[in-house]
């Protein structure tokens, strides 16, 4: 999928969260790194229309995130920094079933779809649990399953390994690596984006570097320590 920013900018009053940005993205794995407050989440939320540009446009395969917001939401799933906030229903299985159910899937087809994603992310044993009974990594996988079951073309992750231990981090990394969908991953975890085709470094609301993962890490270290 082609994601196109055309002079898109975001302002909150007098403060600029994202300076006018024009960029086209179509790689399968795109990393976004940068200091706190550099504009990464704003950038990511623009992609699926959670944040609307103050000026300019953002489009996904020609669909405008403002005018075609519903179609954009169906194409691009978003995993929030704290996935517990996006798991609405008390039981994991019901939460995963919620999206496809509200799109009309029912009966055996619904059960098969839910079983499929539970198995795919290795969380079948967690289906009957409540969100607070899951580890941070398991919560990420449950939120990911709930997004993937709706069959988006793109999945956007906002700091998916934030505050996870090594084991949970590896679990989430494996899930992202194995994802069939295009993925955009915001992260402070440079290992997570190390193998990505394209990595953007944000700094003070602008892209300070756009290129391969190893050069991006070096550039990030430079801006972080400057
Ligand atoms: N709703 C909002 N209202 C006002 N200012 C905001 C809002 N959302 C973000 N900002 C500001 O915009 C700037 C960019 O924020 P953003 O969350 O995009 O950064 P970030 O790189 O994702 O940071 P972090 O790594 O801490 O999550 C920050 O200065 C932030 O304070």
Domain boundaries, the chain: 3-225
Q: Which residue's CA lies nearest to atom 13 of ligand 1?
A: 17
Query: Is the ipTM here above 0.90?
Result: yes
Q: Which residue's CA lies nearest to atom 29 of ligand 1?
A: 37
| Strands of 26-84, DSSP E | 29-34, 55-60, 63-64, 76-79
CA–centroid distance, residue 174 to ligand 1 (Å): 28
Contacts of 185 (CB under 8 A, 6+ apart): 29, 30, 31, 32, 156, 157, 160, 176, 192, 193, 196
**pLDDT 10s digits, 121-138:** 999 999 999 999 999 999
35 with 187: CB under 8 angstroms?
no
Distance CA 196, CA 209 (A): 14
pLDDT score at 226:
81
Of the candidate CATH numbers 3.40.50.1370, 3.30.1300.30, 3.40.50.720, 3.40.50.300, the domain formed by 3-225 belongs to 3.40.50.300
pLDDT along the chain (226 residues), means of 10: 98 96 98 96 97 98 97 96 90 96 93 96 96 93 96 96 91 94 95 96 96 95 87
pLDDT score at 163:
84
């Amino acid at each position: 999928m082609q994601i196109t920013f055309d002079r898109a900018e975001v302002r909150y009053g007098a403060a600029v969260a994202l300076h006018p940005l024009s960029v086209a993205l179509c790689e399968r794995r795109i990393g976004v790194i940068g200091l706190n407050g550099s504009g990464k989440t704003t950038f990511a939320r623009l992609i699926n229309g959670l944040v609307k540009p103050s000026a300019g446009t953002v489009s996904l395969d020609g669909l405008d995130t403002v005018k075609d917001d519903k179609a954009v939401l169906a194409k691009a799933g978003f995993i929030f920094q704290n996935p517990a906030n996006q798991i609405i229903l008390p039981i994991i299985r019901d939460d995963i079933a919620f999206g496809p159910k509200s799109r009309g899937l029912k009966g055996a087809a619904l059960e098969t779809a839910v079983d499929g994603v539970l198995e795919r992310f290795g969380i079948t044993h967690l289906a009957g649990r409540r969100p607070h009974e899951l580890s941070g990594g398991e919560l990420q996988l449950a939120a990911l399953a709930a997004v993937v079951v709706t069959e988006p073309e793109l999945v956007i992750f906002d700091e998916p390994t934030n505050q996870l231990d090594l084991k949970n981090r590896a679990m989430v990394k494996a899930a992202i690596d194995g994802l069939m969908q295009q993925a955009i991953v915001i992260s402070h975890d440079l290992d997570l984006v190390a193998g990505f085709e394209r990595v953007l470094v944000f700094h003070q609301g602008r892209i300070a570097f756009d290129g391969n993962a190893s050069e991006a890490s070096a550039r990030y270290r430079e801006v972080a320590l400057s």
